Structure 1
Amino acid sequence: MRCHWGTALKSGVLFFVLVFLYMYLNLFSAKTSETSEEKLWAREIVSQQLRSDRNLQVFHHLKNDFGKLNMSYTFLAGYPKTTLKYLTVGLSSVKRKNGFYLLDTLQSIFSQSSEEELQDMVVVVLLADFDMTWNQQVLSSISERFSSPILKGQLLVIHLPQEYYPPLEGLKRNFNDAPDRVTFRSKQNVDYAFLLSFSANLSQYYLMLEDDVLCSRNFLTTIRMFIQSRGGSAWVTLEFSKLGYIGKLYHSSDLPRLASFLLLFYQEMPCDWLLGYFTKLLAQNMPIHFKPSLFQHVGLYSSFRGTYNHLKDEDFEANPLNVADNPPADVVTDIIPFKEYTPEQAYSSRTTFFWGKSPLAGSHFTVIFHTPAIVTRISVQTGLQDRKDILTSAEVEVGRSPVHTERGPTCSQYAKLGPLVDGQFDRKDIEGDAAVSCLRILVTKSQEQWVIIRSVNVWTKEEK
């Protein structure tokens, strides 16, 4: 159903949201160090919203209380998979007067992610310009350069026509902004609201980016590790960059109401300010910022008026946690696995592990790289934290000259790196520039206890 902005929403949800916001901002203003002017301004903004016919019109097209927006998106490239992903990366792009960074941003997302990470991720690009000629030109470039991610369902490109947008002219000039500035930031709020609503059912988490950023290596794995490190503690927004709305992470379950929130206040203030208020409304009073930052702003020219904007995040690091490379490989073992705890799960960046029945002397757990790699570090972790199911006696080896035998793929030549100590191995000083094809954990003594291999991590470097 197409939306018409002249019809008022006859629903109690809008009144509930506004009254809750009004009460919260009064409480919030009494508990923070905001200036008196900011407190008065916040109360006045909400008071105006309670009297605004325009904002009653804005929510006409909601399906239900905080439901997805009822509109038809145009798929320009790709189509969403039916399986739920771990992370959606969302970015909106419009034509700039100076500079064009979208393709480089997409290249950074895909090149800085492993194949396994890409299987857990979908990137959604909203081409939000009203100039369809520009959209088609950009779409052609994206399709040519990123055909593989599109075919794999890892990249979607969408668009919404102008008729779906609320009024963008004649809006209030808060902060004494020029009319074209008000139009620009108001449209940007609506762009992101549409993008959030579309992405609500694609994954467990949603990451907001701009179209002119670079990503740190294995950012998805780093995000996953940070989420896990917080245990069951509640959060609304996790920040992986200090700048604007770059690198802001949300639960996908919060996206419908965040989209509604942006639409309600679309003409009031810039998007990053609204995101901050939304986080506080859901009772996260302090920012939760991961350091170092995982995303860097690289655009030299703003999408508004094409003005020079050399904004940088000094906390950005290209490889913040030295996350393992784990190049593509086959993982085989003759240790009998228990149920679904298969060997490849120990080599995965996901929170999984291999669980095998009592290993015998001579049993092996072998990683065969698809392409020989120069290995600089190897880490093996076995057992649980209470020392249950550790691998008590084993050697870690690297091999060359891959072969196929009756027992499966392996290498014909192996060199020992050292034994597991208390079920663990971590060697950071592996020397040599010769590529290896295999990593093998060779059991040297039988044990009755079952074994858990929690992780096998490999770091590599490029050949000279």
Structure 2
Amino acid sequence: MVRIKTSRKCAFVLLAQFLAIGYFVISTTSSDKTRLRVALENSADDEPETPLNQDDNDTPKGDKPSVAQNTSAYDTDIVIGVPTIKRPTGVVYLDDTVRHLINNRGKFVRLVVLIYIAEEDAQWTNETARSIEQSFSKEIDAGLIRVITPPKDLYPNWDTDMKITLNDARHQVKWRSKQNIDASYMMEYARGLNTKYYLGIEDDVIPVADYLDRIWQHANEKWSENIIYASYCPLGAIGKLFFNKDLLTVSTYLRTFWNYKPLDWLYFDLKALVACGYPRTDCETRANAVVLEYPDSLFTHAGKVSSLVKNES
């Protein structure tokens, strides 16, 4: 029998109605099978089935990353957000991306890979959750990987609440607007995990070896009060790192302007928003000063098929 747990740990101050999180803790009664923690409350009409059953008396494993003793003010050092949705051709890059994230992390241990199945298709969500459980059972059991899905009330009514902006086609506006909402939600979830940093990527990228050690050293050495985010990849919104105390600000900003611009454009505008006054003299220089740029790209965009369905009306 599936047991539902309700948590408000990740609620927005301004947007709490969108961020109430429900958890399904999934396990089997057999000792040789792992437990997969998945939030299966989503906006699909049909409630997703659970891949496995859980006994009500079972205590889930992996509630916190436990590979190193916590001696800091944070429960984990970095949460890596990996959103994934169904691609029109059915191709899946997620397994390769997650495997490289795990295998290339070097000696870095205090992290959580947060896989966000950002789909409204319940069947695809269940199939993806099962696939992740089969591929990464040990990592899930250790708390290294978490899997979540959107709560039912996360997204707006696309027909009545969404405006057509930038003269884009309706399906493109929806695609990029949903990406903004998903990014905002993942930041709030990561903030609830009490992480020091949140790193946003995509589900079709490959990190270089020891990428986390390099990010950790660079961020800790270079970060200052005026920095709003750091960039470890020049491509779009990939590889952007945010400090814990800025997550509420940035996630609220994205949720506020979800309908207006693509995610990477909103990040670009955020620089000027926090750095420039009025009149806007020398704004470009000031804006660039609040972003910590790493000299090399630590991520390669390997996907060949976009999640955007280009031929929709």
- Per the normalisation by structure 1, the TM-score is 0.50
User: Aligned pair in 2 of structure 1 residues 182, 65: CA closer, same or farther (>3 Å)?
Assistant: closer
- Alpha-carbon distance between aligned partners in 2 of 1:305 and 1:111, rounded to the nearest angstrom: 32
In structure 1, stretches of 5+ residues that fail to align are: 1-60, 308-464
User: Aligned pair in 2 of structure 1 residues 190, 66: CA closer, same or farther (>3 Å)?
Assistant: closer
Q: 1:94 aligns with which of 85, 90, 101?
A: 85
- Alpha-carbon distance between aligned partners in 1 of 2:220 and 2:12, rounded to the nearest angstrom: 34
- Alpha-carbon distance between aligned partners in 2 of 1:229 and 1:104, rounded to the nearest angstrom: 31
User: Aligned pair in 2 of structure 1 residues 91, 277: CA closer, same or farther (>3 Å)?
Assistant: same
User: Aligned pair in 2 of structure 1 residues 241, 191: CA closer, same or farther (>3 Å)?
Assistant: same
Note the alpha carbon deviations across 1:380-412, whole angstroms, 9 max, x for none.
xxxxxxxxxxxxxxxxxxxxxxxxxxxxxxxxx
Q: Which has the higher contact order (CA 8 A, sep 6+)?
A: 2
Shift of 1:306: 6.4
Structural mapping, 1:325-336, within 5 Å: none
Structural mapping, 1:396-407, within 5 Å: none
- Alpha-carbon distance between aligned partners in 2 of 1:195 and 1:225, rounded to the nearest angstrom: 24
User: Aligned pair in 2 of structure 1 residues 231, 261: CA closer, same or farther (>3 Å)?
Assistant: closer
- SS of 1:126's equivalent in the other structure is strand
Structural mapping, 1:196-215, within 5 Å: 196-202=187-193, 203-215=195-207
- SS of 2:153's equivalent in the other structure is helix
Report what 1:125 is aligned to: 115
- Alpha-carbon distance between aligned partners in 1 of 2:264 and 2:12, rounded to the nearest angstrom: 26
User: Aligned pair in 2 of structure 1 residues 161, 255: CA closer, same or farther (>3 Å)?
Assistant: same
Output the amino acid matched with 1:140. R
- SS of 1:241's equivalent in the other structure is coil
User: Aligned pair in 2 of structure 1 residues 68, 156: CA closer, same or farther (>3 Å)?
Assistant: farther
- Alpha-carbon distance between aligned partners in 1 of 2:223 and 2:191, rounded to the nearest angstrom: 23
Identity %: 28
Note the alpha carbon deviations across 1:28-55, whole angstroms, 9 max, x for none.
xxxxxxxxxxxxxxxxxxxxxxxxxxxx
Report what 1:72 is aligned to: 21
Contact 1:88 1:124 in 2 (8 A): yes
**Counterpart check, 1:174 vs 2:174:** no
Note the alpha carbon deviations across 1:130-166, whole angstroms, 9 max, x for none.
0111011111111111111101111000012443311
Shift of 1:220: 0.9
Report what 1:262 is aligned to: 254
**Counterpart check, 1:106 vs 2:98:** yes
Q: 1:160 aligns with which of 150, 156, 165?
A: 150
CA RMSD of aligned residues (A): 2.4
Contact 1:75 1:157 in 2 (8 A): no
Shift of 1:67: 7.4
Shift of 1:201: 3.2
Output the amino acid matched with 1:208. G
**Counterpart check, 1:229 vs 2:224:** no
User: Aligned pair in 2 of structure 1 residues 145, 306: CA closer, same or farther (>3 Å)?
Assistant: farther
Aligned residues, how many? 245
- Alpha-carbon distance between aligned partners in 1 of 2:152 and 2:192, rounded to the nearest angstrom: 24
User: Aligned pair in 2 of structure 1 residues 108, 75: CA closer, same or farther (>3 Å)?
Assistant: farther
Rg comparison, structure with higher value:
1
Structural mapping, 1:4-153, within 5 Å: 64=13, 70-75=19-24, 77-78=36-37, 80-81=63-64, 84-98=75-89, 99-114=91-106, 116-117=107-108, 119-153=109-143
**Counterpart check, 1:188 vs 2:137:** no
Note the alpha carbon deviations across 1:90-147, whole angstroms, 9 max, x for none.
0111100122111111011001013x41x21111011010011101111111111111
In structure 2, stretches of 5+ residues that fail to align are: 1-9, 26-35, 38-61, 276-285
- SS of 1:174's equivalent in the other structure is coil
Report what 1:345 is aligned to: none
User: Aligned pair in 2 of structure 1 residues 258, 291: CA closer, same or farther (>3 Å)?
Assistant: same
- Alpha-carbon distance between aligned partners in 2 of 1:289 and 1:220, rounded to the nearest angstrom: 15
- SS of 1:282's equivalent in the other structure is helix
Report what 2:40 is aligned to: none
Note the alpha carbon deviations across 1:309-366, whole angstroms, 9 max, x for none.
xxxxxxxxxxxxxxxxxxxxxxxxxxxxxxxxxxxxxxxxxxxxxxxxxxxxxxxxxx
**Counterpart check, 1:304 vs 2:308:** yes
Report what 2:297 is aligned to: 293
- Alpha-carbon distance between aligned partners in 2 of 1:214 and 1:193, rounded to the nearest angstrom: 23
Report what 2:59 is aligned to: none
Report what 2:240 is aligned to: 248
Contact 1:101 1:299 in 2 (8 A): yes
- Alpha-carbon distance between aligned partners in 2 of 1:266 and 1:155, rounded to the nearest angstrom: 27
- Alpha-carbon distance between aligned partners in 2 of 1:270 and 1:281, rounded to the nearest angstrom: 16
Contact 2:204 2:302 in 1 (8 A): yes
Output the amino acid matched with 2:64. K
Report what 2:209 is aligned to: 217
- Alpha-carbon distance between aligned partners in 2 of 1:209 and 1:73, rounded to the nearest angstrom: 24
- Per the normalisation by structure 2, the TM-score is 0.72
- Alpha-carbon distance between aligned partners in 2 of 1:149 and 1:289, rounded to the nearest angstrom: 31
Output the amino acid matched with 2:163. K
Shift of 1:169: 2.4
- Alpha-carbon distance between aligned partners in 2 of 1:108 and 1:63, rounded to the nearest angstrom: 32
- SS of 1:185's equivalent in the other structure is helix
Report what 2:282 is aligned to: none
- SS of 1:238's equivalent in the other structure is strand
